[in-house]
Amino acid sequence: MACQKIFRTLISLFILCAGVLFLVSCGPKARVAVSQLDTPGHHTFTGLKLLDQEKYTDAKREFEMATQLDAKYSKTYTGMALVNIYTGKFNAASENLANGLKYAKDADEKLFVNVGKIRYYTLSKSDQKWLELARNQFDEAVVTDSKHSPAYYFMGLAYRDALEFNQAGQMFSQVTKLKTDHMADADAQLKFLQKVQLAMPATEAGKKIALAERITRADAAALFMEELKIKDLYKKLELKVSAEVKDVEKVPTEAPSPAPVNLLAKDIADHPLKKDIEGILETGVRGLENDPKGNFNPGEILSRGEYAMMLEDILIKLTGEKDLAARYVNSKSLFPDVPADMPYFNAIISVTSRGIMEAKNTKTGEFAPLKPVTGVDALLIIRKLKKELKLN
């Protein structure tokens, strides 16, 4: 009887062990390397290079190949997080970063996670205190290595996006002093910040737009309303004209005519710059009107030629020089890419002859009328317009 009991116990243990072995054999197997370069480290290195080239699908493939060789390779998970960050998959990125930290074995891998989290908070802005969270990761990184250049560079980008330009400049300056990684990138950022300082945006909207690689119609409306304060300028001109009417009983120059009452653009109901758009529609700046269907098209990218046309219209209204709209029609073009029959020709010559705008490419002399206007250039141009009008 005792023997039968022992036998049954042994059989049960055998079945249990067999079941465990079966489950293990059915689980995912680590891929066997097929060459000397088929390593987690090499695939991760390649993935990061592809990431820098914005080849996200290819980078993801490299990181996946790395995890097939080593499911606990920390840098692979952080690399995968960066792919997900730049493709807008922030929940997945957060999980990747957690795994990156979980499997980090040394200071270098932990530093990589710290910098990855700075980039995550900067681009996802998943928390109202995102800048503080990024700063915490930066602090951790520099405690580990006070000369870790990527931490300073990406914290600089975080401060830049938070519109804290002085702190951003300090971070980029530190990168250039360390003379290791991101040197060229940091130098470019410092030059950009110098342009922002020259543009001197006075409002929150202006600072945000300064970071834009290309401005929209809505952005232009905000800049004219908030940075130029066009509505106030037109109102002052109206008061001046009214005073002159009382003195001489006739108008020596016309004030800007109010735009037709067509201020309710159909496509701006939920737009964050709705108030600025309605204000600019009221002022009637040429080129910033509603289209025939009643849409303002706030997200449409502005070209340099279109921006010149808007500036010319503002000049005409504020200076009273009505002939400016056709003054240069028969003139010779000053730019190889601005033919005399271009719709923006007169406007471009009007603003460039006053130094408000200039050639985009100083080497070729090209104005680039169809190229988009960057935010910082738009602000610099407004500053020059104010100087021309003696508004500073």
Burial of 3 (0-12, 13-18, 19+ CB in 10 A): exposed
What is the rounded distance in angstroms from the CA atom of residue 168 to the CA atom of residue 155? 7
* Tally of CB atoms within 10 A around 48: 18
What is the rounded distance in angstroms from the CA atom of residue 54 to the CA atom of residue 77? 18
SS3 content of the chain, % helix, strand, coil (to 5): 60, 0, 35
Q: What is the average pLDDT value for the chain, to the nearest integer?
A: 89
Return the pLDDT at 239: 74
Which residues fall within 8 angstroms of residue 196, CB to CB, at 6 or more apart? 165, 207, 210, 376, 379
Return the pLDDT at 238: 78
Residue type present at position 313: D
Return the pLDDT at 264: 81
Q: Which of 59, 98, 57, 58 is nearest to 77 (CA)?
A: 98
Q: What is the largest CA-CA distance in the chain?
A: 129
Residues 254 and 241 sit within 8 Å (Cβ to Cβ): yes
Return the pLDDT at 391: 87
Q: Which helix (H) or strand (E) holds 305?
A: helix 304-319
What is the rounded distance in angstroms from the CA atom of residue 75 to the CA atom of residue 292? 55
3-state secondary structure of 284: coil
* Mean pLDDT per 10-residue interval, the chain, length 392 residues: 53 51 45 68 95 96 94 97 97 97 97 98 96 98 97 98 97 97 97 95 96 97 97 86 57 52 80 96 95 96 98 96 93 95 96 96 96 97 95 78
pLDDT, tens only, 73-121: 999 999 999 999 999 999 999 999 999 999 999 999 999 999 999 999 9
What is the rounded distance in angstroms from the CA atom of residue 325 to the CA atom of residue 346? 7
Q: What is the pTM of this model?
A: 0.82
pLDDT, tens only, 34-86: 566 779 999 999 999 999 999 999 999 999 999 999 999 999 999 999 999 99
Return the pLDDT at 242: 62
Domains, the chain, ordered by start: 40-205 (1.25.40.10), 208-388 (no CATH)
Return the pLDDT at 62: 95
What is the rounded distance in angstroms from the CA atom of residue 327 to the CA atom of residue 196? 33
